[in-house]
């Protein structure tokens, strides 16, 4: 079966203003709204569109994390994914470990494409997709803003610093999404009901035989240096004067 695998990370909602805990041991997440990582929502939307266009038959979503991740997997199923796998763990998972976990699922499910978000907006690592592609020994097209499939290849337009770059990659491959790839659909109420009946398998991470020792230890969390509010000026003349005094114009 032609399958697309999409990974879904549960993260603090992007509207939440994250604050560091007073004791510097982490950030405050208690009672904070959690959501699907926005880039993963785009990844899922792209997979659903490819399926709707007939390039794939099944969209499989995967999340690694605590039992709460199942909420985001249910949302993904409601959006239109066919099947979900939850890899359960309470440990903090670094990108290399996430990539190894995804690789075991790839070995099992043999997808034609794995679509990941380009970065998780909690750790802002921007690593997992590239690491997965390396371990899988397959092409990667990161920061995608356009994906066109024809036969066994895909043409992917990538958002790079210099502008847009187009790569042609052989499938199977890994694609990571940028924000302008698409606009994710809204979930409709009846779909939420239907999603309850879709399969969601749970696997313990420990059963996959992957070591999860974190190699990078976050030992301290601090708020960023604050910029101090400056001065409000009355008119453009004052602005030009101020900039001139600083030697900026």
Partner 1 sequence: MNKILIVAEHNGSQLNPSTAKCVTCARGIPDASITVVVFASDPIEVAKAAATITGVSQVLTVTHLAHAHPIAALIAPQLATLAKEFTHIFGPSTTFGKDLMPRTAALLNAPQLSDIMLVESATRFKRPIYAGNAITTVEVAAEIQLVATVRTASFEAAPSNHNSAPIESVNSTASLPSHTRFIGTSAARNGRPDLQTAARVISGGRALGSAENFNILYSLADQLGAAIGASRAAVDAGYAPSDMQVGQTGKIISPELYMAFGISGAIQHLTGIKDARTIVAINKDADAPIFEIADFGLVGDLFQIIPELKLLLKTAQ
Ligand X SMILES: Cc1cc2nc3c(=O)[nH]c(=O)nc-3n(C[C@H](O)[C@H](O)[C@H](O)COP(=O)(O)OP(=O)(O)OC[C@H]3O[C@@H](n4cnc5c(N)ncnc54)[C@H](O)[C@@H]3O)c2cc1C
Taking the C-alpha atoms of residue 239 and residue 237, their distance in angstroms, rounded to an integer, is 5
- Enumerate residues 36-75 that contact ligand X by CB under 6 A: 38
Nearer to ligand X by Cβ, of 33 and 196: the residue is 33
Helix pair 69-79, 38-52: axis angle to 10 deg: 30
Least gap, CB of 63 to ligand AMP (angstroms): 5
Nearer to ligand X by Cβ, of 14 and 221: the residue is 14
Q: Pattern 158-197, binding to partner 1, x per CB under 8 A? A: xxxxxxxxxxxxx--x----xxx-----------------
Question: Rule CB under 8 A: is residue 212 a binding residue for partner 1?
Answer: no
Question: Rule CB under 6 A: is residue 233 a binding residue for ligand X?
Answer: no
| Element holding 116 (H helix, E strand) | strand 113-117
Count of positions (residues) in the chain = 249
| Element holding 45 (H helix, E strand) | helix 38-52
User: What Cα–Cα distance (Å) separates residue 118 from each residue in 66, 177, 208, 230?
Assistant: 22, 5, 25, 35
Question: Rule CB under 8 A: is residue 143 a binding residue for partner 1?
Answer: yes
How many Cα atoms are found within 13 Å in the side-chain-facing hemisphere of 5?
27
Q: Pattern 119-148, binding to ligand AMP, x per CB under 6 A? A: xx--x-xxxxx-------------------
Question: Rule CB under 8 A: is residue 33 a binding residue for partner 1?
Answer: no
Taking the C-alpha atoms of residue 93 and residue 64, their distance in angstroms, rounded to an integer, is 8
Question: Rule CB under 6 A: is residue 111 a binding residue for ligand AMP?
Answer: no
Nearer to ligand X by Cβ, of 17 and 217: the residue is 17
Nearer to ligand X by Cβ, of 38 and 172: the residue is 38
Beta bridge partners of 114: 5, 174
Binding ligand AMP (rule: CB under 6 A), the pick from 63, 70, 142, 157 is 63
Long-range Cβ contact pairs of 12-21 (< 8 A, separation 24 or more): 12/121, 12/122, 14/38, 14/121, 19/223, 20/221, 20/222, 20/223, 21/221
173 binds, options ligand AMP, ligand X, partner 1, none, Cβ within 5 to 8 A by partner type: partner 1
Residues that bind ligand X (CB under 6 A): 14, 38, 121
Residues that bind ligand AMP (CB under 6 A): 7-9, 37, 39-40, 63-65, 93, 95, 98, 116-117, 119-120, 123, 125-129
């Amino acid at each position: 079966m032609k399958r697309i695998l999409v990974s879904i990370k549960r993260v603090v909602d992007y509207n939440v203003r994250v604050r560091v805990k007073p004791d510097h041991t982490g950030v405050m997440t208690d009672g904070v709204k959690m959501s699907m990582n926005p880039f993963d929502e785009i990844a899922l939307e792209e997979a659903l569109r490819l399926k709707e266009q007939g390039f794939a038959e099944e969209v499989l979503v995967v999340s690694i994390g605590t039992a709460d991740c199942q909420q985001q997997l249910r949302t993904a199923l409601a959006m239109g994914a066919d099947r979900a796998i939850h890899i359960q763990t309470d440990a903090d998972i670094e990108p290399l470990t996430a990539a190894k976990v995804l690789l075991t699922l790839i070995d099992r499910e043999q997808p034609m494409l794995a679509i990941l978000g380009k970065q998780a907006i909690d750790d802002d690592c921007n690593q997992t997709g590239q690491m997965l592609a390396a371990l899988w020994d397959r092409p990667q097209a990161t920061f995608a803003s356009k994906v066109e499939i024809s036969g066994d290849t895909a043409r992917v337009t990538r958002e790079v610093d210099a502008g847009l770059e187009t790569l042609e990659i052989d499938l199977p491959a890994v694609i990571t999404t940028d924000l302008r790839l698409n606009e994710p659909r809204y979930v409709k109420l009846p779909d939420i009901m239907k999603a309850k009946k879709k399969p969601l398998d749970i696997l313990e991470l420990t059963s996959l035989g992957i070591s999860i020792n974190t190699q990078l230890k976050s030992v301290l969390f601090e708020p960023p240096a604050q910029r101090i509010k400056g001065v409000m000026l009355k008119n453009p003349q004052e602005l030009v004067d101020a900039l001139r005094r600083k030697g900026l114009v």
